[in-house]
Chain A
Amino acid sequence: MTVLSALAPRADFPLLAANPSLHYLDSAATSQKPRAVLDALVGFYETSNANPHRGAYALSAAATDAFHNARVTVARFLGVADSDCLIYTRGTTESVNLVAATWGATNVRVGDEIVVTALEHHANFVTWQQLAKRTGATLRIVELTAHQEIDLDQLRDVVGPRTKLVAITHVSNAVGAITPLDTVVEIVRAQSNAVLFVDGAQGAPHLPVAFDTMGADFYAFSGHKMLGPMGIGGLIGKRALLEAMPPFLFGGDMIEWVYDFDSTWNVLPHKFEAGTPNAADAVGLAAGVRYLEALDMTAVRAHEVALLEAAEARLRDLTACTVYGPPPSRRSGVISFSLDDVHPHDLATILDQHGVCVRAGHHCAQPLMRRLGVSSTARASFYVYSEQSDVDALCSALVSAQTMFAAA
């Protein structure tokens, strides 16, 4: 058996380097950061720190350039030629809320339908659920196949002339299922005039993303899941839609003229970036993106598939272990599973004792958990720094847990 080494050396990641016996299998929750990202973040504060856009002095120009170049870097990585259409937000959750509060508020009304799926993370479910309640629109929920993939036949049945919005995940954070976006786009375009919103929180870190050719109207992502710092992410949208949407937050930078009783708005992207931007974290995220570009996203994907195949084979070998989601070729680096005799909470505690970090809970997907008939599962997730020893540690810890809890 070939030993799978990490794609990105652990030595590049200070936290992992300092904790050699740690097996961090919760990258779906947040990724560890390479030194390059930390250096870029601190470097901004040490060399280029000023408020972008506002000053007439050289340091402010440097900050403005750093901030702008970061945006261009991330836009290029995600296949967006028009970088003004990449709006910085705090992350995917804020991106969803931005669209619901602006596009949603002005376009959705009684009689309209909003389509989501049973796979969605609460951010891409609750937000639209509440928009439907507020506006009197009808929420339609597309159900799942036996492998917890979105039932595309049902999607075909549900999407129609009344559909105003389809909100769908690129990759499920709970079970890792990858949505075939090209098929979804085909269905939505053929059968409706709906806007297509894609939750890319787990997509952008793990798969090549090319927004301009994807065919979606919006794509949201989170920097901290793709080697970047917390507190920064983005919303990519088609220019015509973004220009027609009213602002989300009001204040400095997003205005053009402020009269006493009315104001006019700045152009993209500034219209949606009120207040002092999170320039430092944007610069940090760009460094994370450059790190991923150097690895090449095709190699990232191949690495994860190899780890998944190794892990899944051993998990399926365990008795009394249920693995959720589709086979490795149709899933991203996330495996949710449950052991018959061990509650996920107990499992996570025992794994912690073996230095294995997994997530136990509902993974912000209570609608999905209900459909699985469980209240929680355990979830292990791989990323660029994961390697064979992580798979081995996970599996032997699981065997220990089973032994400890074996029925007397």
Chain B
Amino acid sequence: MSDVSAASLSAMYQETLLAHHRAPLNRRAIANATHTGSRKNPLCGDALQVAVRFDGDSIADAAFTGQGCSIATASASMMTEVLRGRTRDQALALVDEVESMLTGGTAAPNLPFGLEALRGVAPFPGRHGCATMSWLALRDALHTRS
């Protein structure tokens, strides 16, 4: 019934996403985090917490904790990798980009290479919330302080 092909499925679950799911990067706590945020998905009970430490204007460290499905975990893992060195404004712009690529269906030509695998989630609207969970937690974090 689904008009998304098996090729799309394997695109989404391509090795990158699966690799991030099996061995997520930066799944740990951060001592001296300057910003923290969290998100829960009431439909499945998944919950992720995001922590960021700024050094001056730029992000020195980013990490996540919590339980999620493979898409949520992989997205959080990829996110924490690409955040390093970015300013607050750059990080927030990246959240907007990811969100609009997934839920808004935009082309997102400037998506960092480390997030390319997230494009595979775009044809699966039911999974957009999984992919954006860590990003929305990041947005919350950057708008408040720990």
Contact = CB atoms under 8 A, between A and B. Distances in A.
Contacts of B69: 343-346
B31 interface: no
Contacts of B2: 352-353, 355
A350 B9 contact: yes
B45 A345 contact: no
Given A349-B126, A353-B2, A353-B6, A361 B13 contact: no
Contact of A345 (B13, B18, B22, B127): B127
Given A346-B69, A375-B46, A407 B1 contact: no
A21 B46 contact: no
Point out which of A344, A366, A375 has the most chain B C-beta atoms below 10 A from its C-beta: A375
Given A361-B43, A362-B43, A375-B44, A345 B130 contact: yes
B13 to A, nearest CB: 6
A375 B67 contact: yes
A9 B55 CA distance: 67
A7 to B, nearest CB: 22
Contact of A375 (B18, B45, B124, B126): B45
A22 interface: yes
B121 to A, nearest CB: 10
A194 to B, nearest CB: 32
A45 interface: no
Nearest to B6: A353
Interface in A300-323: none
A405 B1 CA distance: 23
A374 B67 CA distance: 11
A240 interface: no
Contact of B71 (A346, A357, A374): A346
A108 to B, nearest CB: 28
A408 interface: yes
Interface residues of B, number: 21
Chain A interface size band reads 20 to 34
A407 B126 CA distance: 25
A353 B68 CA distance: 21
B26 interface: no
A301 B2 CA distance: 31
A360 interface: yes
B70 interface: yes
Contact of B44 (A353, A376, A407): A376
A115 B139 CA distance: 43
A404 B10 CA distance: 10
Given A355-B2, A404-B13, A360 B44 contact: yes
B103 to A, nearest CB: 17
A107 interface: no
Nearest to A345: B69
Given A349-B127, A355-B1, A355-B2, A369 B13 contact: no
Point out which of B1, B2, B43, B126 has the most chain A C-beta atoms below 10 A from its C-beta: B1
Contacts of B130: 345
Interface string A348-377: 111011010100111000100100001110
Contacts of A357: 1
Contacts of A345: 44, 46, 69-71, 127, 130
A404 B19 CA distance: 12
24 contacts: A19-B1, A22-B1, A343-B68, A343-B70, A344-B44, A345-B44, A346-B70, A346-B71, A349-B126, A349-B127, A352-B1, A352-B2, A353-B2, A355-B1, A355-B2, A360-B44, A361-B44, A362-B43, A369-B45, A376-B43, A376-B44, A376-B45, A405-B18, A407-B22
Given A349-B124, A376-B46, 13 more contacts: A343-B70, A345-B44, A346-B69, A346-B71, A348-B126, A349-B126, A349-B127, A353-B2, A357-B1, A362-B43, A362-B44, A375-B45, A405-B70
Interface of B: 1-2, 4, 6, 9, 13, 18, 22, 43-46, 67-71, 124, 126-127, 130
Interface of A: 19, 21-22, 343-346, 348-350, 352-353, 355, 357, 360-362, 366, 369, 374-376, 404-405, 407-408
